Structure 1
Amino acid sequence: MTTSFLLIVQIVLVILIVIAVLLQKSSSIGLGAYSGSNDSVFGAKGPNSFLAKVTFTIGFLFVVNTITLGYMYSKSAEESVVDNLTENTNVVAPAAKETNTSK
């Protein structure tokens, strides 16, 4: 249950970080041109400082979530279905039947 929630959070973080990177100003204007006047929304310095902080924060959360998911999956991988099966059952081979081959 917890790993599925963290996996959904991971997907949302990926989408958010892609959007944050695409909105940043590059050598060409990029997708930031379609958002209108950014100076009034993000303050006097413009979107560069704000989007850089958002990108860093989302990137940090992405890395922390990735490490947490890796730890949780490695813990669940320590137990094997086969190990649990052999510990709980006693398998006894059937006795061999004698066959009469002297006809």
Structure 2
Amino acid sequence: METFLIVTQIILAILIILIVLINVTKGSEYGAVFRGAEAIFGGAGPTNFLNKVTMILVLLFFLNSILLTKVFTEKHKPLMLKTGIPQSPVSNETFPPTPPSIPIPPKEPLKFPESTK
């Protein structure tokens, strides 16, 4: 099942790339190539048809991605539960450790020498 979904994902990705590359928009320089398509797709040309196909392929790609994620997670869940989150050994130290000697300022107010005027 997982292999089928992966192959489907690759095929959908390739089809989306191809549809986007041949999509003809207004002002496109490649529009002259697809002028004969007006007879097949109607007066609007292939743009409406290609836009619909693009939306359908993107939707299928999205749904396949979700399904592939669900299948992969369910298949590998026991492995994820066994390994768990690696825990570091717990020590009694506080983090961050305090330096052993911190100079403490004196509690007396500072005396400045009087300046002579």
CA contact (8 A) 1:25 1:32 kept: yes
Kindly state the Cα deviation for residue 47 of structure 1 after the two structures are TM-superposed.
0.8
TM-score, normalised relative to structure 1:
0.68
Q: Paired residue for 2:61? A: 62
- Map 1:1-103 to 2 at 5 A: 2-26=1-25, 29=28, 33-35=32-34, 37-80=36-79, 83=82
Q: Paired residue for 2:100? A: none
Aligned letter for 1:76? K
TM-score, normalised relative to structure 2:
0.60
CA contact (8 A) 2:37 2:45 kept: yes
Kindly state the Cα deviation for residue 75 of structure 1 after the two structures are TM-superposed.
0.8
CA contact (8 A) 1:10 1:66 kept: yes
Please give the per-residue CA displacement for 1:43-69, whole angstroms capped at 9, x wherever unaligned. 121111100100000000000000000
- For structure 1, which segment, 22-31 or 41-50, has the greater mean C-alpha deviation from structure 2 after superposition? 22-31
Alpha-carbon separation, structure 1, partners of 2:69 and 2:30: 33
Alpha-carbon separation, structure 2, partners of 1:17 and 1:8: 14
CA contact (8 A) 1:23 1:30 kept: no
| RMSD after superposition | 2.3
- For structure 1, which segment, 35-44 or 13-22, has the greater mean C-alpha deviation from structure 2 after superposition? 35-44
Alpha-carbon separation, structure 2, partners of 1:19 and 1:30: 17
Alpha-carbon separation, structure 2, partners of 1:29 and 1:13: 25
* Identical columns (%): 32
